[in-house]
C-alpha cells in the first residue's frame, strides 16, 4: 500500500493481570481512507486490540502510532484523531442528544461547529431526537447517538466494535451506508465483526485474528478469490 499509514501497530502485547495473554505480538499497518475488517471468533482479542490502540487498555508491550503520534506518550494528539464506537451501549444520562454530542466535540478541544453537528444528527437520522433525553431512547437510537459522539470531533480514523451485532436490518443498512460515506470523505475505518458477509460487503482488507494473533491480512478481493468463503468459514 502506497498511502501514508494512519495507523501503525507494532508487536503489540497485552497480558492481563490474571496472566492471560490476549494479544500476542500484533503487527498491523492501515493506510488513510482504508476500511479494514477484523474478523475472529469470540475471545480472539478483537476488543482488546481496539482498546489498546485507542489508549483505553494499556498494552504490556509494543507500540501504537496514530497519525505518527504514540498513543501512550502522546495520548491527546493521537486520541484526537480517533473516533471510537464501543460494543456495549455505554451511554445513558438525562442530557439531550445534541448536548451529548456537543460535549463530546468539546472534549477534544475542537472549535464549536453547530452546522457540522446538525448535519451529523441528520446523517444519523437523529435530527428529530436532538432535544430528547438519551436515557429515554431505544437501544437502536442510543447506538446512533454513540456513533454521533464518536464522530463529533471529526476524527480521521473510526473504530467500530461489532457495530451490527444485535441491531435491526435498517440500522445495519444505515451503518454500511455511513461507512461508505465516511470512506468517501477519506476517513479510515476499522471494524470488528463476526460476520463474513459484513466484511465482504464493506471492507477493503480483512484481517483474521485468533488467540491474540493476526493469522492473515489480505485484500478482500484477493482473499475471496484465492481462498473462497468456505475456507474463511472454517477459520471463524
The least distance separating ligand ATP from the CB of residue 148, rounded to whole angstroms, comes to 23
12 to 31, contacts with ligand ATP by CB under 6 A?
16, 18, 20, 22
Which listed range, 25-33, 45-53, 108-116, 123-131, lies at the site for ligand ATP (CB under 6 A)? 45-53
Q: Which of 46, 105, 144, 205 binds ligand ATP (CB under 6 A)?
A: 46
- The alpha carbon of residue 219 and the mean position of all alpha carbons in its chain are separated, in whole angstroms, by 19
Q: Which of 7, 9, 12, 40 binds ligand ATP (CB under 6 A)?
A: 40
Which listed range, 35-43, 74-82, 121-129, 137-145, lies at the site for ligand ATP (CB under 6 A)? 35-43
CA–CA separation, 161 vs 47, rounded Å? 7
C-alpha cell at 206: 480483512
The DSSP line for 112-178 is P-HHHHHHHHHHTT-GGGTTSBGGGS-HHHHHHHHHHHHHTT--SEEEEESTTTT--HHHHHHHHHH
Cβ contacts of residue 47 below 8 Å, gap of 6+?
87, 161, 192
Nearest to 84 by CA among 147, 34, 5: 147
43 makes contact with ligand ATP (CB under 6 A): yes
Nearest to 47 by CA among 30, 69, 22: 22
The least distance separating ligand ATP from the CB of residue 108, rounded to whole angstroms, comes to 25
CA–CA separation, 16 vs 165, rounded Å? 26
Which listed range, 5-13, 43-51, 103-111, 133-141, lies at the site for ligand ATP (CB under 6 A)? 43-51
48 makes contact with ligand ATP (CB under 6 A): yes
CA–CA separation, 157 vs 6, rounded Å? 8
47 makes contact with ligand ATP (CB under 6 A): yes
Q: Which of 35, 37, 39, 44 binds ligand ATP (CB under 6 A)?
A: 44
The least distance separating ligand ATP from the CB of residue 92, rounded to whole angstroms, comes to 21
Binding site for ligand ATP (CB under 6 A): 16, 18, 20, 22, 40, 42-48
Amino acid at each position: 500500500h502506497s498511502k501514508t499509514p494512519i495507523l501503525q501497530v507494532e508487536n503489540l502485547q497485552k497480558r492481563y493481570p490474571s496472566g492471560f495473554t490476549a494479544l500476542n505480538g500484533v503487527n498491523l499497518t492501515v493506510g488513510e481512507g482504508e476500511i479494514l475488517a477484523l474478523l475472529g471468533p469470540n475471545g480472539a482479542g478483537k476488543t482488546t486490540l481496539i482498546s489498546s490502540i485507542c489508549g483505553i487498555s494499556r498494552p504490556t508491550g509494543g507500540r501504537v502510532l496514530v497519525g505518527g503520534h504514540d498513543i501512550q506518550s502522546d495520548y491527546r494528539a493521537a486520541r484526537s484523531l480517533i473516533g471510537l464506537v464501543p460494543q456495549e451501549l455505554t451511554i445513558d444520562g438525562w442530557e439531550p442528544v445534541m448536548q451529548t454530542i456537543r460535549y463530546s466535540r468539546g472534549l477534544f478541544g475542537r472549535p464549536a461547529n453547530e452546522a457540522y453537528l446538525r448535519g451529523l444528527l441528520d446523517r444519523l437520522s437523529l435530527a428529530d431526537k436532538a432535544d430528547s433525553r438519551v436515557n429515554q431512547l431505544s437501544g437502536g437510537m442510543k447506538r446512533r447517538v454513540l456513533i454521533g459522539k464518536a464522530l463529533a470531533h471529526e476524527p480521521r480514523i473510526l473504530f467500530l466494535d461489532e457495530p451490527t451485532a444485535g441491531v435491526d436490518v435498517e440500522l445495519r443498512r444505515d451503518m454500511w451506508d455511513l461507512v461508505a460515506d465516511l470512506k468517501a470523505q477519506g476517513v479510515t475505518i476499522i471494524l470488528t465483526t463476526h460476520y463474513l458477509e459484513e466484511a465482504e460487503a464493506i471492507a477493503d482488507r480483512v484481517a483474521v485474528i485468533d488467540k491474540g494473533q493476526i493469522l492473515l491480512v489480505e485484500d478482500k478481493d484477493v482473499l475471496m478469490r484465492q481462498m473462497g468463503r468456505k475456507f474463511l468459514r472454517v477459520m471463524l
